[in-house]
């Protein structure tokens, strides 16, 4: 239950999480632990509907008032392309966060399996990604950690939809923010975060541009640069626009990428205008199968963990982060940072 000021408070319903849900199995790195022994993640089944959800159990003594307020803000967010916090239970010692499961795995992994992979396919899912981020921005939420691991699918069916995870309402504001916490992996880090601790929602626009570039080419936009070369490439927007995969895609698709990957954040195209872009409306999209791009993307998926560990920007404060994931192996990563 959430009070009028947005704080999680005691609730009669909270007195019995077990009344409404049955814990199924633990997910993440640690085995299922007894209540009160520390935070853990598990799959739970709603007794009435028999629907599966993820639940994060957290000890209240380690949760600040600010973080509890953030949980209240999470409950207000509801969009079909975002993983949703369903409800929160509270006991004297613990919080139980019941969260929607996205059991279709990662979009980038699924894209490598499609029998037909072309701009029309990419457009279908990228438009959903934009809609999810647009919704967050309208509510003053900056995602700050967009990357392939956080772009999931709702199911393994053909009509699956995008579900974005790891968004955090740490701050609901239209003002530029100090970098209390930013966790952009190397490839998705925007130039402004290498120059300053100030940022705004434009960091998400940059990340969308990088994601679209990879979906269209299957390649690392920085040609796998490392160290100082990588920093220089990010700062100067030194994107690989010369490789063969880039030449295969339509001019409108290229333009959409370039309108997002602008060094100065104030000149990046915002989500409402991006949705009006000619490529996003199916003008001049190429329908030929991008076989080489699909192969590149498969290799990118295999290498990205090692590559993305090169750079992580972190602050001291930790937000409540929403990210339940069910991959095809039925392994779910923790959805709240600990």
Please name the residues in contact with 56: beta carbons below 8 A apart, sequence gap of 6 or more.
Answer: 39, 40, 41, 96, 97, 99, 334, 335, 336
- Asked if the domains 13-100 and 107-308 are classified in one and the same CATH topology, the answer is no
Q: Which residues pair with 322 in a beta bridge?
A: 167
Q: How confident is the model at residue 264 (pLDDT cuts 50, 70, 90)?
A: very high
Alpha-carbon span 285 to 280, nearest angstrom: 9
Inter-residue contact 40 to 338 (CB < 8 Å): no
Q: How confident is the model at residue 90 (pLDDT cuts 50, 70, 90)?
A: confident
Inter-residue contact 173 to 198 (CB < 8 Å): no
State mean pLDDT over 116-124. 95
> What are the tens digits of pLDDT across the range 125-176?
999 999 999 999 999 889 988 999 999 999 999 899 999 988 865 544 444 4
The answer on pLDDT for 95 being more than 80 is yes
Percent share of the chain, pLDDT over 70: 75
Q: How confident is the model at residue 231 (pLDDT cuts 50, 70, 90)?
A: confident
Q: Looking at residue 170, what is its pLDDT?
A: 52
Q: Which of the pair, 282 or 209, is modelled with greater confidence?
A: 209
Assign domain 13-100 to a CATH class: alpha beta
Please report where in the chains the tokens 């990662």 appear, as a residue: 106
Give the closest residue to 194 by CA, choosing from 221, 232, 226, 222.
232
Hey, what CATH topology would domain 107-308 get?
Answer: Transferase(Phosphotransferase); domain 1 (1.10.510)
Work out the widest C-alpha separation in the chain, in whole angstroms. 61
DSSP label at 159? T
Question: What's this model's pTM, rounded to 2 decimal places?
Answer: 0.81
Give the closest residue to 190 by CA, choosing from 299, 180, 179, 149.
179
Inter-residue contact 256 to 277 (CB < 8 Å): yes
Alpha-carbon span 76 to 71, nearest angstrom: 9
- Ranges of each domain in the chain: 13-100, 107-308
């Amino acid at each position: 239950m959430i009070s009028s000021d947005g704080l999680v408070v005691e609730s009669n319903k909270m007195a019995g999480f077990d009344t409404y849900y049955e814990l199924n199995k633990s997910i993440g790195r640690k085995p299922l632990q007894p209540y009160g022994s520390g935070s853990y993640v598990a799959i739970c089944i709603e007794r009435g509907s028999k629907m599966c959800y993820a639940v994060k159990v957290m000890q209240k003594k380690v949760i600040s008032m600010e973080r509890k307020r953030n949980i209240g803000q999470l409950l207000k967010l509801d969009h079909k392309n975002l993983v949703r916090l369903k409800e929160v239970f509270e006991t004297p010692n613990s919080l139980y966060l019941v969260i929607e499961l996205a059991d279709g795995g990662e979009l980038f992994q699924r894209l490598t399996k499609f029998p037909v992979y072309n701009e029309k396919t990419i457009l279908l899912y990228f438009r959903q990604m934009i809609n999810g981020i647009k919704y967050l921005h309208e509510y003053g939420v900056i995602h700050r950690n967009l990357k392939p691991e956080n772009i999931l699918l709702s199911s393994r069916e053909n009509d699956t939809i995008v579900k974005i995870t790891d968004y955090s309402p740490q701050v609901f504001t239209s003002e530029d923010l100090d970098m209390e916490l930013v966790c952009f992996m190397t490839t998705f880090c925007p130039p402004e975060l290498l120059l300053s601790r100030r940022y705004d929602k434009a960091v998400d626009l940059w990340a969308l541009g990088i994601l679209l570039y990879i979906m269209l080419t299957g390649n690392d936009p920085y040609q796998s640069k490392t160290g100082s070369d990588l920093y220089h490439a990010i700062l100067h927007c030194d994107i690989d626009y010369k490789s063969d995969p880039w030449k295969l895609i339509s001019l409108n698709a290229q333009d959409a990428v370039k309108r997002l990957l602008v060094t100065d954040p104030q000149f990046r195209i915002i989500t409402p205008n991006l949705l009006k872009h000619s490529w996003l409306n199916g003008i001049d999209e190429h329908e030929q199968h991008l076989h080489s791009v699909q192969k590149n993307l498969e290799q990118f998926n295999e290498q990205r963990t090692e590559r993305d560990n090169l750079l992580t920007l972190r602050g001291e404060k930790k937000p409540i982060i929403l990210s339940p994931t069910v991959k095809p192996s039925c392994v779910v990563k923790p959805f709240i940072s600990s």
